[in-house]
């Protein structure tokens, strides 16, 4: 099902000129506005549960 990896997705964002701080903001906004969808999105990227937990926790701080 997983047609894109996290690294590929980041490469797409980078190629579009979206910087690391912007990507960070994206996570924070995602976690605040749509926590459940954030989880689903990270699952879609095929990340393991542990990594997802860490990313979400980091985004909440």
Partner 1 sequence: MAAQFGLSRSTLLYYDRIGLLRPDYRTSAGYRLYNAADRQRLELICRFRSAGLSLARIERLLDRPQPTRSAMTTALQGRLTALNREIAALRRQQQVVVNLLQQKGSARRTRIMDKARWIALMRAAGMNDAEMHRWHEEFEQQSPEAHQDFLESLGLPAAEIRQIRRGTVRRT
Quote the CA–CA distance of 41 and 24 in Å, as a whole number: 15
CB of 35 to partner 1, least distance (A): 7
Phi, psi values for residue 18, rounded to 5°: -90, 120
Binding-site size, partner 1 (CB under 8 A): 27
Name residue, tokens 């910087």: 19
35 binds partner 1 (CB under 8 A): yes
Give the one residue of 44, 47, 52, 56 binding partner 1; rule: CB under 8 A. 44
Neighbours of 55 (CB within 10 A): 19
Query: For binding to partner 1 (CB under 8 A), which residues are involved?
Result: 1, 3-4, 8-9, 11-13, 15-18, 22-23, 25-26, 29-30, 33-37, 39-41, 44
């Amino acid at each position: 099902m997983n047609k894109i990896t996290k690294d590929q997705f980041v490469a797409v964002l980078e190629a579009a000129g979206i910087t690391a701080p912007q990507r960070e903001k994206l996570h924070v906004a995602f976690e605040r506005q749509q926590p459940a969808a954030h989880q689903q999105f990270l699952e879609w990227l095929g990340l393991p549960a542990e990594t997802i937990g860490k990313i979400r926790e980091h985004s909440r701080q």
